[in-house]
Amino acid sequence: EDQVTQSPEALRLQEGESSSLNCSYTVSGLRGLFWYRQDPGKGPEFLFTLYSAGEEKEKERLKATLTKKESFLHITAPKPEDSATYLCAVETTDSWGKLQFGAGTQVVVTP
Amino acid sequence: DGGITQSPKYLFRKEGQNVTLSCEQNLNHDAMYWYRQDPGQGLRLIYYSQIVNDFQKGDIAEGYSVSREKKESFPLTVTSAQKNPTAFYLCASSPRQGGQETQYFGPGTRLLVL
């Protein structure tokens, strides 16, 4: 059975304290892995799509990487506005358009 | 200004009542989706539609119904058969052309039971 697991469930950081979020997946065949950011009471905001092992993408203080078993979202020198829940989702080769989501990592960055 | 709109932002349902959540997109996307989000859980797929007049059940379709009569609209009805409807409902769309699978989400509708 396909599975997506995010860790940790929650992360509290001091402003400037870099850290990484993990998304591990067990799927039959990966078509794409997606990262989203979600603020409380709002819809998820798209961040990155990764397609193959070794791929990396960056946006401001965020960098996403992908291996054959997991993806990492690195937050470098975070600011309080980076506080949000970060969601990971996968699309497999035998499930057209159907994203399977992890439960998310809630990140709080304090000044 | 392109995007996905959902209405209403909050919706209250009485026992035995059917309610309909609206989702409209002006991105010219082919595919549209409905998800349900509960606290501490990942988003779960309710229904999705690849093309007008066609839709498929997701993982938790029981107690819900949809229609896709227009490319830009994909309303979701929560029927009285859905016994635990309280949740945050999210609509998404994607181009599904040329390998563009990324789904873009609307602002969501929170459904509460009176």
Least confident of A32-41, A53-62, B92-101: B92-101
- What's the pLDDT at B98? 61
A47 at the B interface (CB within 8 A)? Answer: no
Please state the φ and ψ torsions of residue A82, each to the nearest 5 degrees.
Answer: -85, -5
Q: What is the DSSP string of A1-43?
A: --EEEEE-SEEEEETT--EEEEEEEE-SSEEEEEEEEE-TTS-
- What's the pLDDT at A106? 97
Instruction: Tell me the C-alpha distance between A105 and A85, whole Å.
Output: 5
Across the range B14-40, mean pLDDT stands at 94
User: By CB neighbour count within 10 A (0-12 exposed, 13-18 middle, 19+ buried), where does B30 fall?
Assistant: middle
Q: Taking chain A, what is the end-to-end CA distance rounded to the nearest angstrom?
A: 41
Q: Which two tokens stand for residue B103?
A: 């789904």
**Residue whose pair of structure tokens reads 């599904």 in the numeric block:** B96
Nearest CB partner across the interface for B40, out of A41, A91, A103: A103
- What's the pLDDT at A27? 87
A94 at the B interface (CB within 8 A)? Answer: no
Please give the C-alpha separations between residue B80 and each of A60, B23, B35, B48, B56, in angstroms, as whole numbers. Answer: 46, 20, 18, 21, 20
Region of residue B108 (phi > 0: left; psi between -120 and 50: alpha; otherwise: beta): left
Q: Which residues of A touch B40 (CB under 8 A)?
A: 103
- What's the pLDDT at B99? 64
Across the range A29-53, mean pLDDT stands at 95
Residue B97 has pLDDT above 80, yes or no: no
Q: How many CA atoms lie within 13 A of B58 on its CB side?
A: 23
**Residue type present at position B3:** G
Size of interface A-B (CB pairs under 8 A): 57
Instruction: Tell me the C-alpha distance between B93 and B31, whole Å.
Output: 5
- What's the pLDDT at B41? 85
Nearest CB partner across the interface for B42, out of A49, A97, A101: A101
**Residue whose pair of structure tokens reads 């940790």 in the numeric block:** A8
Sign, CA torsion B52/B33/A3/B63 = negative
Across the range B75-100, mean pLDDT stands at 89
Instruction: Tell me the C-alpha distance between A86 and A67, whole Å.
Output: 18
pLDDT tens string A84-111: 999 999 999 888 778 999 999 999 999 9
Instruction: Tell me the C-alpha distance between B90 and A35, whole Å.
Output: 16
Across the range B3-29, mean pLDDT stands at 94
Q: Could you tell me which of B89, B71, B112 has the C-alpha nearest to residue B22?
A: B89
